[in-house]
Amino acid sequence: MGAMKIPVLSHKQGLSAVAALLLLSGCAAPGGRPAAEELNLALAGMDGKDAVTFEGSAALLIAGKPVPESALYYGGKVQDHSRISLYSLLPDEAGETRSVPVQGVKKSGRSKAAAPSFYTKLEKKNGEWQPQQSGEAGRLAGLNPLQQLEELQKPDTQVTEESGSSGGIRVLRIRLSPAEAKRQLSEELEREMQAIRQESVAESAGQTAEVREAMDTLWTQKSRELKQRIDEAEVTSVYFMKVDSRHSLPKRLTWTRTIRYPGMTDPADGEAYVTKVDFYGYQ
C-alpha cells in the first residue's frame, strides 16, 4: 500500500468469498461489532477508495535484539487498487534516514541526513503483484501493504480485539494458522531465491561453463538447506490492525513473523521480522 506463489483473489472477489467465514471467526466487543466483521468492513472500506498513501518501517530482530543493518523505511501510494509506487530508504553511515520525494509522494521528514533510495512500481496482473524492476528494487515487493492486507483474508485466520480500544479506534489482532504462516514464509523465500538465481545467471554470463555449473550447484545446495530449515521451524505470523471504526478504514497495520528452530528452549530466542505501515490521505 525489514525477504511463493498461489492465486490471490482481487479485493472485491476476496472480500465476497471470505466474508462469511471471517464473520464466523471473530469475537464481539461489548455492544460492538464482532472483531472479524470490523476487519471485513475495514478491508471493504479500503477497497472503496481510489487511492491511499502509506509510510512504514521494517526490521529484523534476533534473540530479541534488532539487527541495525536490517532497518528499512519505506512508503508509497496505491492507485486504482492495482498499481503501487513504492520507495525505500536505507540508513546512511550515521544510521539516519531521510525521505526523498518520488512522483508526488509526501516527505516523511525523518532527518536531515541523506540516504540511498530504491524505487519500484508494482502492478497486479492475473492475481499476482509484479514489480517492474528486478534486483534490490524488485525485492521491495515484499513490503507491498496491499499484499499484506490480502493475507488477512485467509479463511482460517483467528480475529480478536485487543483491550484498550476507544475513541472510534479499534485494535484487531489477526493470527494466521501455523500451516498458513509457514506457507507464506516458504513462498516469500522461494521468490527471493529465484531472484538471486536470476542475478547470478546474469552475472556469470561471461564465465566458463565450469564456473556457471559451480554457481548453479551452490545455489541448489543453499536452496535445499534453506527449505529444510523452514520445514523444521516453528513459524507464527500475527497482525495488529488499528481501525478507524467511524469510517471503517485501516489506520495502521503491524505485522510480526517469528521463526524458532528446533533446540531453542528460551522463548526469547529465534528470529522476528517486524513491519509497521501507516495509511493516510484516502481519496
**What's the mean per-residue pLDDT of the chain?**
78
For residue 212, tell me if it sits in a domain. Answer: yes
249 or 189, which is more confident: 249
Q: Quote the CA–CA distance of 181 and 184 in Å, as a whole number.
A: 5
For residue 5, tell me if it sits in a domain. Answer: no
For residue 226, tell me if it sits in a domain. Answer: yes
For residue 244, tell me if it sits in a domain. Answer: yes
- The pLDDT tens digits of the residues spanning 36-62 come to 999 999 999 999 999 999 999 999 999
Kindly give the residue spans of alpha helices, DSSP state H, lying in the chain: 11-25, 35-47, 135-138, 145-151, 178-203, 209-232
Note the pLDDT of residue 136.
56
| Band of pLDDT at residue 156, cut at 50, 70 and 90 | confident
Structural domains counted in the chain: 1
Under 8 Å between Cβ of 42 and 250 = yes
Say yes or no to pLDDT of 9 above 50: no
For residue 72, tell me if it sits in a domain. Answer: yes
- The pLDDT tens digits of the residues spanning 64-115 come to 899 988 888 999 999 988 899 989 875 544 444 444 433 333 334 443 344 4
For residue 6, tell me if it sits in a domain. Answer: no
Task: Residue 59: give the domain boundaries.
Answer: 11-280
For residue 2, tell me if it sits in a domain. Answer: no
